[in-house]
């Protein structure tokens, strides 16, 4: 709240660009989201009830058209996957694939990831978080909109189990540098590749059509993999 009682308008890391949504995607949102979606609100999610089993929960934030998320779910059926995406055409595309290929271990939310994390994801409940190719907001005046900021990383640490992984990837060099700088000083994370180092692309990250197109255009991709550890309490200097 400001001094005059007005609420601060939150800076969002996305703009809803509906773009072209097909009739098939619209039908998927209407017919399949009730089956694969999560109920939105402020009630904490019960992952066992949501997926119908006990299994590690992996979260992908901003899954686009769901290509990587569906591939991970098929390759690692022992895990449960929660995907969050604000753009309805992409959500509709993923829902159609989940239904067509009978992929049982994915649930989706078509909303703001920060709200889901703050209100619905229990603390220390996630085994992994993936952020692949987030909007780079490349103009300097838009850098404040970038998803990877200190406060958001602290929120992710709270939701990850000790030993859980945070895996990021981008094809924008300056955003990669920003990500690495933020994570290198974040409390409770250690760089799996070594201090201030990028990681080789883990086999767990599928190579998507988006990335293959970028490779043809000469775009280099940088991966960062961090492990959540128990943050050490700050000690007051003794005087």
Catalytic residues: 135
Please give the C-alpha separations between residue 108 and each of 5, 136, 206, 212, 216, in angstroms, as whole numbers.
36, 23, 19, 25, 31
25 vs 91: CA distance, rounded Å: 8
Q: Which tokens go with 18?
A: 């509906």
3-state secondary structure of 92: helix
Q: What is the number of other CB atoms lying within 10 angstroms of the CB of residue 161?
A: 15
Q: At what angle do helices 88-100 and 23-31 cross, to 10 degrees?
A: 70
Strand segments (E) across 62-159: 80-84, 106-109, 126-132
78 vs 92: CA distance, rounded Å: 24
151 vs 144: CA distance, rounded Å: 12
Cβ contacts of residue 67 below 8 Å, gap of 6+? Answer: 206, 208, 209, 210
* Pair type for strands 160-170 and 126-132: parallel
User: 55 near 77, Cβ under 8 Å?
Assistant: no
């Amino acid at each position: 709240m400001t001094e005059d009682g007005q609420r601060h308008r939150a800076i969002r890391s996305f703009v809803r660009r509906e773009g072209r949504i097909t009739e098939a995607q619209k039908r998927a949102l209407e017919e399949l989201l009730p089956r694969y979606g999560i109920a939105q609100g402020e009630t904490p999610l019960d992952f066992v009830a949501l997926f119908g089993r006990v299994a590690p929960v992996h979260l992908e934030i901003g899954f686009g058209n769901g290509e990587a998320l569906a591939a991970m779910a098929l390759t690692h059926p022992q895990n449960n996957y929660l995907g969050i995406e604000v753009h309805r055409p992409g959500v509709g595309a993923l829902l159609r694939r989940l239904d067509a290929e009978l992929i049982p271990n994915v649930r989706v939310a078509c909303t703001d990831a920060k709200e889901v994390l703050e209100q619905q994801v229990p603390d220390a409940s996630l085994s992994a978080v993936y952020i692949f190719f987030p909007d780079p907001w490349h103009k300097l005046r838009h850098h404040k909109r970038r998803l990877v900021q200190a406060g958001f990383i602290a929120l992710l640490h709270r939701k990850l189990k000790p030993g859980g992984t945070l895996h990021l990837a981008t094809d924008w060099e300056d955003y990669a540098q920003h990500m690495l700088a933020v994570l290198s000083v974040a409390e409770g994370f250690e760089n799996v590749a070594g201090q201030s180092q990028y990681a080789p692309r883990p086999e767990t990250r599928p190579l998507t059509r988006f990335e293959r197109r970028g490779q043809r255009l000469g775009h280099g991709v940088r991966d960062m993999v961090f492990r959540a550890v128990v943050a050490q309490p700050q000690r007051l200097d003794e005087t």
